[in-house]
Structure 1
Amino acid sequence: MTRPVSKRNRAITLPDGGLDLGPRTLIMGVINVTPDSFSDGGQFYQDAQAVEHGLALAEAGADILDVGGETTRPGSRPTGASEEMDRVLPVIEALSRHCSAVISVDTYKAEVARAALTAGANIINDVTALGGDPAMADLAAESRAGLVLMHMQGEPRTMQNNPVYQDVVAEVREFLAQRAGLALEAGVAPEAIILDPGIGFGKTLEHNLALIRNLQALTELGYPVLLGASRKKFIGTLTGRDIPGERLWGSVGVHILGAALGADIVRVHDVAPLKEALAVCDAVMAQEPYHD
C-alpha cells in the first residue's frame, strides 16, 4: 500500500499565505462553541474555555483550528446567524491574535463566514458544500479563503433516518466533483478547495467503512481530502464505546488508516495522541515499498 502521489508537495492557498501539503498529514483540531455538541456536551461553550482549549490544541500540534457555533449532530436543529456569530467571533478573534494555527470557521452561512474571515479565519468549512447559502460560493471566491466542501445526505435533523445509496463511493465522489466544479465556476481557485466525504453525515456503518476504505477514489479528483471521523457513532458501534469521549483509540485508528490511504488532513478532537501516531504513520508511508 503506497501513498497516492497526489499527496506530495502541494499547498492550499489562503489569504494570508498557505498550508503546505506533503508527506506530513495535517491536523485540524475541533472547537465546538455550542451547548449541545455530541462529542463534548458543551464543555467549551464559554468564550474563555473555548479559547483556552484552542490554544491547548495548537500547542499540542494542531495545524488548523476549526471553530463551530452550530451543532450538526444527527437530529439537531438550525441556529440563527446572529447567535452563531455571537458564539464564534470572539473565539476566532482571540485565537487569531494568540496562536499561529490557521483558523477555520465551520459554517454554511455566508453572513457568518464573512464575519469570521474579518475576525481572522482563513478557511470556510461548509458542511453543505455550497448548498446551504447561495452567497457562499461568491464569498469564497472574493475572499480567496480555503474552502472545505463536505458531502451530507439530507440535513442534520433527518440525515440518519435510513440513508440509502446505490454505490456510496461513486455517489459521494460524483457529488464532490460537481460541487468543486461549481466552486471553480464561481471563481474559487482550485488550490483553495478541500474535499470531505462527510463521515457520519447521512451514512450507515457500512457506508462510512466503504468511504474510508476507498479514500483514493476521492484523492484521484486532484484536491486535498479531509477525513473527519473523530468520536463518531460508528466507532462506538465497532468498539462498544457508547460515550463519545471514550472513543479515543478508535478515533486514532481510523485517522491513521485514513492518512495511510490518502487523507491530507484529519479533523480530530484529541490532537496530542494523533500527532504522535501520525509521526510514525507518515514516516512509514513516505517511503516506497520494497519490490524484489
Structure 2
Amino acid sequence: MGRIVGAAIVSHHPGLMQCEEFRRAMGAGEDSDLIAGYARLRKKIEAVKPHAIIVLDSHWFTTGYHLVDGAARYKGIYVSDEMPWYLNGVHFDYRGHPQLAQAIEAVSREQGGYNRVINHPLLERQYATVNLVKHLNLEHNDTPVVSVSSCQNCEWPHFLKSGEAIGEAIRRSDLDVVLLASGALSHKFNGIDWQPNHPRLFHESNVSSRENIESDKGALEFMASGRHDQILDRWQDEYRLKPWEAYGAHYLQMLGAMGGRECRWKGEALSAYENARGTGNIHVWFQP
C-alpha cells in the first residue's frame, strides 16, 4: 500500500534562481532564508526516502482539466517568458513517473473528477517545477517527478477533489510519495514604481499589504496546529479573495490528497516568511 510520507508548501519565486551575490544585494547583505530553507527541506525529503515526488505547479495553468504530466523523462533548457532577462538558460534533466500519472487519471475518472494525463514531447516546463527540481537536487538523486497543473476554470472544491484522486492513487500503489505544493500564499504584486518599506527586499514588511501579512500569518498558525479545517472555513471569504497564488490550487490539491477537512498534519516552518515583489512566501513541511 502506498503512502504520502511528507508534503510541503514551497516557494519557487524567480529571485531565488539568481546568484548569491545578487540575492545578497537585494537583501542588504543577507541572503534569502528561503535558500537555507531549501537545504532544510532537502534533509526532510531525504529522511523519508520517497519513490516519487508530485509537484502541484501553481504556474501551469490549464483549462478544462487538471493535467498530470506523464512523460518518462524531461530534458531541455528553460527560459522564462515572464522574466527572461535573468531566468534563462536553466538546463534540466530529470525522470518522470508515467505509471503514477496514469494511476491518478484512472482514479479521477472513477470518481468523476477532472485529472487527465498529458504526454507531449514539446510541452514546456514551468519554473514552479523547474526551480524546485534544481534547488532540491532532484536531478542528482534521480527521484521521479510528476507535475500537476492548476485548472483555471475551477472552483476551489474542485482542487480538493483533484487532490483526493491523487491521494487515492498513491494509496493503491506501492509508492512512498512526497507532495510539493509549489507556490506562495497571498499573491498580490507591488506596483512597478513601488518603493520598499525595508532595505532588505525579502523582509516581510515589503509584502503588498499589512492585511495580507496578517492573513498569511493567521493561515500559518492554523497550519502549525494542524487545523486545516479552519482554513477551509475561511477560504471563500478570506484566502480566495486575497488571493493566494493560483487561487490556492497548490495548497488545496495537497490538502485533498492528505485527507481534506479531516487532515490534522501539523506544519513546521522551514524558512522565514518573506516578501517577493509583494507576495508572501515560505516553506512549510507536513508529515503524518
The two structures have a TM-score, normalised by structure 2, of 0.30
Q: 1 or 2 for the larger relative contact order (CA 8 Å, sep ≥6)?
A: 2
More strand by share: 2
